[in-house]
């Protein structure tokens, strides 16, 4: 097992994600209807907990993302 | 009279031997669906005309003296995310309802037809496969045949209920985070999530391209093997399918398991659930005479990473509808998908890197053992509408927790066969048999041995409306 690298930024689960949801939705051009906003914010709070677990495990630089793109051969 | 508990292999033997016509078998299945599905709500489409036409073709082939396929005359049905020529691929979504019907069958449906099976319909599921209980705001809840007040699991809930209710002897479903293994556990069935890249997904409605798998449900290891074998085959239309020849497992059912190294997963897989889940694993471990344990390190992080990849990729797929018609989604799905569309990219990329890391850790474990045992679900079937459950002294949402043991495993694409334990007076519950990539064979050997010893089994229940 290769030694882990330095710590990654880890989201603080105490942070209220509402402002982020609003800003990210604006940036993405994906409006979130006020009626849906509480549910989206609650999901983002859950995603933050998941991200805290993922970002809490620093990985060696050699660990590449899992999906590998393989260009096919062109046959004529 | 064709009984509802007649299995895949027995049905094919009956039809091939002339004991019953495929048409009689198909009519009996359609009658069972007509009588039983009002209670279960497993089917969203019944393809009666097609079933009778496919059955008539089998009977005609037999009359001509032609060799019949291995699944000759076997009725089955598919989760409604499989393309079926002539009907709309719903993927559990009202949004899809107005779309044109599929022009041709998905790859696995074509393989099943080539093996002689008879398609009886399409099955209910969680919207866009994003759920574990098949409580669908558009198409209604699927009921568990063993207790209609309880969930059949999800997202392939219709696929499980149709088989456990004896409407059909086998079905096909999909599994991105546990959507075959969870309903197999809750309905007491055998279910296979093959190695990622084993079976073609072409002609099925995707959910998370980097995590989606397709696979079968049945009521015995031999039946599951027969359907899985029929589904194997190379398909250039699925870019994620591995370039491997079929590796049939049916001949291995009944083979010795001497020398197979088995261990129980500890750590993450030994907490987060109710005693019944761990008792089921202990029962299987005892039958296999193993006291060995192994650790899949960082499994909770792997589950979290699967959650993020699912959230982001699932959202990306539905961006046009999230923009144009968010009100038309199931509310629970919509809020999850809108969140997924806004996740920071760094989290998702790190999650994909963690996938590589966790796979390497799992491969290290498989140098020492051949099969890992883990619970399939943290508890048996919850009540429909149940919102929370107590686990380890905490009250938590019941639905997402159902995937706590399946998500880390599918995240790295390992093959899993869920085996069912029947418990008189209680709901069934499943155990995951987990192997190294491409080693489905050992799973079928072990599942069949457990079945032969009476440790695992599936049975039909059908409550009256």
Q: Is residue A47 part of a domain?
A: yes
Q: Is residue B442 part of a domain?
A: yes
Mind listing the pLDDT tens digit for each residue in A18-50? 999 999 999 999 999 999 999 999 999 999 999
Mean pLDDT of B68-87: 98
Q: Is residue B460 part of a domain?
A: no
Q: Is residue B417 part of a domain?
A: yes
Q: Is residue A8 part of a domain?
A: no
pLDDT for A5 equals: 73
Quote the CA–CA distance of B34 and B49 in Å, as a whole number. Answer: 14
Domain that holds residue B181: 8-452
Q: Is residue B458 part of a domain?
A: no
Q: Is residue A22 part of a domain?
A: yes
Q: Model-level pTM?
A: 0.97
Pair of tokens at residue B366: 């498989």
User: B155, B159, B174, B410: which one is catalytic?
Assistant: B155
Mind listing the pLDDT tens digit for each residue in B91-141? 999 999 999 999 999 999 999 999 999 999 999 999 999 999 999 999 999
- Residues of B within 8 A of A43 (CB-CB) are 311, 335-336, 338-340
CB-CB contact of B89 with B80 (8 Å): yes
SS3 string of B39-71? HHCCEEEECHHHHHHHHHHHHHHHHCCCCCCCC
Contact A53 B361 (CB under 8 A): no
Pair of tokens at residue B357: 């890391």
pLDDT for A3 equals: 57
Domain that holds residue A31: 18-55
B395 HSE (CA, 13 A, CB side)? 3
- Count of structural domains, chain B: 1
Active-site annotation holds for B179: yes
- Count of structural domains, chain A: 1
Q: Is residue A39 part of a domain?
A: yes
Q: Is residue A48 part of a domain?
A: yes
The domain that contains B22 carries what CATH number? 3.90.1300.10
Residues in contact with A61: Cβ distance below 8 Å, sequence separation at least 6, in sequence order: A5
Q: Is residue A25 part of a domain?
A: yes
Could you report the predicted ipTM of this complex, rounded to two decimals?
0.94
Q: CB-based contact (8 Å) between B295 and chain A?
A: no
Residue among A19, A20, A8, A72 at smallest CA distance from B350: A8
Q: Is residue A36 part of a domain?
A: yes
Q: Is residue B457 part of a domain?
A: no
Question: SS3 of B351, please?
Answer: helix
- Residues of A within 8 A of B314 (CB-CB) are none
Nearest CB among A1, A31, A64 relative to B356 is that of: A64
How remote is the C-alpha of B134 from its chain's centroid? Answer: 13
Mind listing the pLDDT tens digit for each residue in B385-415? 999 999 999 999 999 999 999 999 999 999 9
Q: Is residue B153 part of a domain?
A: yes
């Amino acid at each position: 097992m290769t030694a882990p690298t330095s710590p990654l930024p880890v989201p603080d689960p105490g942070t209220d994600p509402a402002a982020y949801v609003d800003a990210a939705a604006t940036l993405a051009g994906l409006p979130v209807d006020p009626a849906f906003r509480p549910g989206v914010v609650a999901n983002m709070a859950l995603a933050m907990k998941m991200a805290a677990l993922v970002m809490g495990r620093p990985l060696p630089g050699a660990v590449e993302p899992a999906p590998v793109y393989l260009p096919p051969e062109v046959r004529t | 009279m064709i009984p509802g508990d007649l299995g895949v292999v027995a049905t094919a033997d009956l039809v091939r031997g002339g004991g019953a016509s495929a048409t009689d078998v198909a009519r009996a299945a359609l009658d069972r669906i007509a009588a039983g599905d009002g209670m279960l709500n497993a089917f969203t489409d019944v393809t009666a005309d097609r079933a009778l036409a496919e059955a008539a073709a089998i009977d005609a082939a037999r009359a001509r003296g032609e060799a019949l396929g291995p699944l000759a005359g076997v009725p089955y049905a598919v989760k409604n995310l499989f393309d079926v020529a002539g009907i709309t691929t719903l993927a559990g979504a009202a949004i899809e309802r107005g779309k044109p019907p599929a022009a041709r069958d998905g790859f696995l449906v074509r393989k099943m037809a080539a093996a002689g099976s008879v398609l009886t319909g399409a099955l209910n599921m969680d919207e866009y496969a994003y759920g574990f209980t098949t409580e669908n705001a558009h198409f209604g809840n699927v009921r568990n045949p063993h207790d209609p007040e309880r969930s059949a699991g999800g997202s392939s809930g219709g696929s499980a209920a149709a088989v456990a209710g004896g409407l059909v002897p086998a079905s096909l479903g999909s599994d991105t985070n546990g959507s075959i293994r969870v309903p197999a556990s809750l309905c007491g069935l055998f279910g296979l999530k093959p190695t990622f890249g084993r079976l073609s997904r072409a002609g099925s409605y995707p959910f998370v391209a980097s995590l989606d798998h397709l696979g079968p449900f049945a009521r015995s290891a031999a039946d599951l093997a027969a359907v899985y074998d029929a589904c194997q085959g190379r398909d250039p239309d699925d870019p994620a399918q591995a370039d491997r020849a079929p590796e049939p497992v049916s001949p291995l059912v009944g083979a010795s398991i001497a020398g197979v190294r088995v261990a129980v997963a500890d750590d993450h897989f030994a907490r987060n659930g109710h005693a019944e889940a761990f008792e089921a694993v202990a029962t299987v471990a005892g039958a296999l005479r193993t006291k060995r344990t192994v650790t899949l390190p960082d499994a909770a992080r792997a589950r979290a990473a699967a959650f993020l990849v699912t959230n982001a990729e699932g959202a990306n797929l539905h961006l046009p509808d999230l923009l144009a018609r968010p009100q038309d989604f199931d509310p629970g799905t919509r809020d999850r998908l809108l969140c997924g569309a806004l996740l920071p990219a760094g989290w998702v990329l790190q999650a994909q890197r963690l996938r590589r890391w966790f796979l390497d850790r799992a491969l290290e474990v498989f140098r020492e053992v051949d099969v890992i045992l883990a619970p399939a679900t943290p508890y048996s079937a919850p009540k429909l509408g149940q919102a929370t459950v107590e686990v380890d002294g905490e009250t938590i949402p019941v639905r997402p927790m159902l995937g706590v043991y399946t998500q880390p495993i599918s995240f790295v694409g390992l093959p899993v066969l869920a085996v069912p334990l029947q418990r008189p007076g209680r709901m069934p519950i499943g155990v995951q048999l987990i192997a190294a990539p491409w080693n489905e064979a050992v799973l079928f050997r072990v599942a069949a041995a457990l079945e032969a010893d009476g440790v695992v089994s599936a049975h039909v229940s059908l409550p009256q409306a």
